[in-house]
Structure 1
Amino acid sequence: MAGARSTRASAAVERLKKRSGNNGYSMARTGDGLFFLAERPGAPPLCPALELDEFVAFVDGLGPQVEKRVGKHDLAFEKQLKKKP
């Protein structure tokens, strides 16, 4: 289970690296299983030590955000929803 937790957290950091273009971001895990992020290994943490879900949410909120692709079917569906009373 611990491996899956680390994988999920490191995947969030990899997404941040890709979005931001900063490959220096580094994740660390405390002895009690909490996670924190730094701009590079050995740098001060950018957040307090967080539980997995909080850490992933924090990391996903950093840096430029990827715009969701919206297809023509999605737009048509939204238009229909707005027409209904």
Structure 2
Amino acid sequence: MSTARSTRASAAVDRLKVRSGNAGYSMARTGDGLFFLSEAPGEPPLCAPLDLDDFVAFVNKLGPQVARRVSKLDIAFEKQLVKKKPAP
């Protein structure tokens, strides 16, 4: 397994720890290279072993979500997109 893969999974778990305020979350990897998450080392897993993309998506959905910052320019751009949609 490459370091980039485990770094991406670790970063997702670190973001979850910050969002949730629970520093006990622990990631582990199976011999097949699949990942799973538990609330603390040695605790039962919160998910079945998942591949990297599915694991990161699962972890990103857990805990409180951070509101996405939207600028005035983003809002104006989205309004322009709505205006330009062709009528059915």
TM-score range, shorter chain: over 0.9
SS in 2 for 1:53: helix
If the length of structure 1 is used for normalisation, what is the TM-score? 0.93
Deviation at 1:82, TM superposition (A): 2.3
- Paired residues for 1:23-62 under 5 Å: 23-62=23-62
Q: What residue identity is the alignment partner of 1:31? A: G
Partner of 2:3: 3
Unaligned runs of 5+ residues in structure 2 are none
Aligned length: 85
Alpha-carbon distance between aligned partners in 1 of 2:10 and 2:79, rounded to the nearest angstrom: 38
Alpha-carbon distance between aligned partners in 2 of 1:42 and 1:17, rounded to the nearest angstrom: 17
Alpha-carbon distance between aligned partners in 2 of 1:42 and 1:32, rounded to the nearest angstrom: 19
Alpha-carbon distance between aligned partners in 1 of 2:17 and 2:66, rounded to the nearest angstrom: 12
Alpha-carbon distance between aligned partners in 2 of 1:72 and 1:41, rounded to the nearest angstrom: 44
Identity across matched positions, percent? 76
If the length of structure 2 is used for normalisation, what is the TM-score? 0.90
